[in-house]
């Protein structure tokens, strides 16, 4: 059993004594989208809006919204907030499956934090130990399952072509929101008002986007930390790594100054990759896989730090994920460190939009791909070898495999997902001048199944009209 797994098992009864649904992340983790004024405590629940009237009197309401406080109360009394269904799903599989709630509880827990929560009223304002922050949606990528709220390029595409027709899920109507500019944003103003107090106790600050290296406020934060060090803060940054290399050079310069001169505790870089090669480029419009890998190596070489790949495992990852995993093994050999993995990855599964959800695939045809991936990880697993996969990495994908194998959507949901899949990617190909079947020839049978589902649905509608 790995040290991480041991820590999880040790923490379970301690936090479970508060309540069986208690999650420290609801108090001590937060993601804040300053360009839209939204927040959630981890990326599984949908974000909710931060009322401007709340931050006007309390800048910490960027995290401590009334809605989030009400969810905290439910957890304290053993109820399950609806937005946390991801973890309830994993935990319902069996007792030996590790949910993200368990992982987060283990990573956040200290006796002092638990005492602070249990000894104060449910509506207590807390300064979280972890903040993920987006200053803007400016981005040079258009990742298919992303949203125009998180990508200016995606937003421009939808403004040009309009919402995707005949798609019920993720149709991309953008008329209902307008991202706020960095220079005139009350939420960014509230952030800098909260910063002096928050930064006293904050452990981890993670900057996301959009592409944060394209945001003025990101570089303002670097400058602020260089001038006003916060030796106790770990700074993380999400980057698509598909930007001009000069941005990576500037990042390396800032990171080395902050770390070498002890102005922050440490720095971590995160990037997203769910496949490899032409399939990855199809999924993330704007990605040049060679530039991405070159920038990754530039960063690893220039800083001596490590990088983590966020793999949002989705329907387009299934047939080629072992190609990405092989690259991870290659990088671990090239950037070997005897005590840590310098290239890491995580494999949460995608829940929405439905056309990207693995559960609309025929299980009998695609489960062998999951078994192949899990076997590849197992064949290259060694807890004590930093060029191999860890036990926790194996367990994280095992839950993905088991979730695909055991969960069955109702017939209507599968039917809708498959119709959306065909309509979505047919339009995706048209708008972006790409070709699904040329990129994923192994999925031709599924493509035709989705097309047939639409034809049969339309035929049934015609028959009903004729009867009428």
Query: What is the tens place of the pLDDT at every residue in 125-162?
Result: 999 999 999 999 999 999 999 999 899 999 999 999 99
What is residue 389's DSSP assignment? B
pLDDT at 172: 84
In angstroms, the Cα distances linking 291 to 277, 287, 318, 387 are 12, 8, 24, 24
Residue 359 domain-assigned (yes or no): no
Rounded-to-integer distance, Cα 283 and Cα 27, Å: 34
Token readout for 418 is: 């498959």
Looking at beta carbons, which pairs linking 448-453 to residues 24 or more positions away fall under 8 Å?
449/362, 449/418, 450/418, 450/419, 450/421, 450/422, 451/422, 453/415, 453/418, 453/419, 453/422
468: pLDDT strictly greater than 60:
no
Whether the predicted model's global pTM rises above the 0.95 cut: no
Rounded-to-integer distance, Cα 75 and Cα 122, Å: 10
Residue 362 domain-assigned (yes or no): no
- Provide the mean pLDDT of the chain: 94
Note whether 12 and 102 are within 8 A (CB). yes
pLDDT at 156: 94
Residue 221 domain-assigned (yes or no): no
Rounded-to-integer distance, Cα 289 and Cα 80, Å: 41
Q: What residues make up the domain containing 49?
A: 3-128
Residue 10 domain-assigned (yes or no): yes
Residue 467 domain-assigned (yes or no): no
Neighbours of 267 (CB within 10 A): 19
Look up tokens 């996301």; give the residue: 208
Confidence of residue 445 (pLDDT cuts 50, 70, 90): very high
Q: What is the largest distance, in Å, between two alpha-carbon atoms of the chain?
A: 79
Note whether 133 and 194 are within 8 A (CB). no
> 93 vs 287, which has greater pLDDT?
287
Residue 375 domain-assigned (yes or no): no
Residue 427 domain-assigned (yes or no): no
Residue 147 domain-assigned (yes or no): no
Rounded-to-integer distance, Cα 29 and Cα 40, Å: 8
Mean pLDDT, residues 432-442 = 98
**Structural domain count, the chain:** 1
């Amino acid at each position: 059993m790995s040290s991480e797994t041991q820590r999880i098992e040790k923490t379970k009864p301690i936090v479970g004594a508060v309540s069986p649904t208690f999650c420290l992340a609801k108090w001590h983790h937060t993601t804040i989208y300053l360009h839209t004024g939204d927040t959630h405590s981890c990326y599984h629940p949908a974000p909710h809006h931060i009322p401007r009237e709340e931050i006007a009197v309390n800048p910490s309401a960027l995290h401590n919204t009334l809605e989030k406080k009400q969810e905290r109360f439910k957890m304290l009394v053993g109820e399950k907030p609806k937005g946390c269904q991801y973890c309830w799903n994993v935990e319902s599989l069996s007792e030996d499956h590790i949910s993200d709630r368990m992982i987060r509880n283990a990573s956040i827990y200290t006796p002092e934090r638990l005492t602070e929560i249990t000894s104060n009223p449910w509506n207590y304002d807390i300064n979280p130990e972890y903040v993920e922050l987006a200053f803007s949606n400016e981005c040079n990528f258009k990742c298919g399952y992303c949203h125009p709220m998180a990508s200016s390029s995606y937003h421009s595409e939808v403004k040009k072509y309009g919402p995707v027709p005949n798609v019920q899920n993720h149709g991309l109507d953008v008329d209902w929101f307008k991202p706020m500019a960095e220079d005139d944003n009350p939420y960014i103003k509230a952030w800098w008002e909260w910063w002096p107090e928050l930064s006293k106790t904050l452990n981890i600050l993670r900057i996301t986007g959009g592409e944060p290296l394209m945001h003025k406020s990101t570089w303002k934060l670097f400058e602020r930390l260089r001038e006003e060090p916060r030796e106790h803060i770990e700074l993380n940054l999400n980057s698509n790594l598909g930007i001009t290399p000069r941005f990576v050079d500037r990042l390396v310069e800032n990171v080395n100054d902050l770390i070498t001169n002890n102005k922050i505790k440490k720095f971590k870089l995160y990037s997203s990759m769910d496949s490899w090669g032409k399939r990855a480029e199809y999924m993330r419009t704007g990605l040049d896989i060679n530039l991405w890998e070159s920038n990754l190596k530039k960063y690893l070489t220039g800083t001596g730090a490590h990088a983590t790949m966020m793999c949002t495992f989705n329907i387009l990852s299934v047939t080629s994920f072992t190609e990405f995993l092989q690259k991870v093994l290659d990088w671990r050999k090239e950037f070997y460190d005897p005590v840590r993995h310098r290239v890491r990855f995580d494999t949460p599964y995608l829940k929405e939009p439905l056309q990207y959800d693995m559960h609309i695939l025929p299980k009998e045809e695609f489960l062998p791909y999951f078994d192949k991936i899990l076997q590849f990880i197992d064949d290259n697993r060694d807890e004590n070898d930093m060029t191999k996969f860890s036990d926790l990495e194996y367990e994280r994908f095992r839950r993905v495999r088991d979730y695909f194998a055991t969960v069955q959507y109702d017939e209507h949901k599968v039917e809708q997902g498959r119709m959306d899949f065909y309509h979505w990617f047919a339009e995706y190909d048209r708008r972006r001048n790409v070709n699904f079947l040329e990129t994923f020839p192994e999925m031709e049978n599924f493509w035709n199944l989705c097309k047939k589902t639409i034809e049969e649905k339309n035929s049934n509608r015609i028959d009903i009209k004729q009867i009428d």
